[in-house]
């Protein structure tokens, strides 16, 4: 049975747009994918790193949550992901933001993703995919962060050419 999941994508090293496009193509092998617009955002952690490109992919998949996490980490590794420092620069970051309606507390995975409601670079792409999306009984479009976002849209929802 398919589950609708939302995957956060981010990159700020190398050819980020190409890396994200390739990641979306690999996600398409796991199920049906639709992408949000592509955004540019300042780094959340150390400020001595490049701005990020961020998006969210809606993925319908038959994979269990931890199996999906394994596949995402494999895609990150194939993109040359290296974890240099906490909230530091990266070639590719893939996060399970939502997995159906499930709430998951596992040593490897927390869903909904921690901090999701405080990050406009996650909220705005989620709203691209579902304008009425609610998380923990909170309608995202009503959040102050959604009203006051300063993210820069760098490409529309067709940037990845996968659907």
Within a domain: residue 32? Answer: yes
The residue assigned the tokens 């617009």 is 37
Within a domain: residue 131? Answer: yes
Within a domain: residue 163? Answer: no
pTM listed for this prediction? 0.92
- Grade residue 161 by pLDDT with cuts at 50, 70 and 90: low
Strand 3-11 with 52-61, pairing: antiparallel
> Which tens digit of pLDDT belongs to each residue from 22-56?
999 999 999 999 999 999 999 887 888 899 999 99
Residue of 55, 23, 52, 20 whose CA lies nearest to 38: 55
The span from the CA of 93 to the CA of 150, in Å, is 21
When divided into structural domains, the chain yields a total of 1
Within a domain: residue 150? Answer: yes
Set 17, 32, 81, 130: catalytic member: 81
Within a domain: residue 160? Answer: no
Set 58, 93, 120, 128: catalytic member: 93
Within a domain: residue 162? Answer: no
What are the tokens at 71? Answer: 């596949």
Asked about 83 being catalytic, the answer comes back as no
Set 58, 90, 119, 128: catalytic member: 90
Q: What is the CATH number of the domain that holds 68?
A: 3.30.70.560
Asked about 95 being catalytic, the answer comes back as yes
Within a domain: residue 102? Answer: yes
Percent of the chain with pLDDT over 70: 98
Rounded to 5 degrees, φ, ψ at 147 are: -80, -30
Asked about 90 being catalytic, the answer comes back as yes
Asked about 70 being catalytic, the answer comes back as no
- Rg over CA atoms, the chain: 15
Whether residue 86 has pLDDT greater than 80: no
State the residue range of the domain holding 19. 3-155
What are the tokens at 5? Answer: 């999941």
Q: Is 50 within 8 Å of 89 (Cβ atoms)?
A: yes
pLDDT of residue 163: 46
Set 58, 95, 119, 120: catalytic member: 95
Within a domain: residue 161? Answer: no
């Amino acid at each position: 049975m398919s589950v609708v999941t939302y995957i956060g994508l981010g990159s700020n090293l190398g050819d980020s747009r190409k890396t994200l496009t390739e990641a979306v193509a690999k996600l398409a092998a796991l199920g049906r994918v639709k992408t949000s617009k592509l955004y540019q955002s300042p780094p959340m952690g150390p400020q001595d790193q490049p701005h990020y490109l961020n998006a969210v992919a809606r993925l319908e998949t038959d994979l269990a949550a931890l199996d999906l996490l394994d596949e995402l980490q494999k895609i990150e590794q194939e993109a040359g992901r290296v974890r240099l420092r906490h909230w530091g620069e990266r070639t590719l970051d893939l996060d399970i933001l939502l997995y159906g309606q499930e709430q998951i507390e596992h040593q490897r995975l927390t869903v909904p993703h921690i901090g999701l409601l405080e990050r406009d670079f996650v909220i705005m792409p989620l709203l691209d995919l579902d304008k009425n999306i609610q998380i923990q009984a909170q309608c995202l479009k009503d959040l102050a962060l959604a009203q006051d976002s300063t993210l820069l849209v760098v490409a529309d929802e067709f940037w990845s050419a996968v659907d």
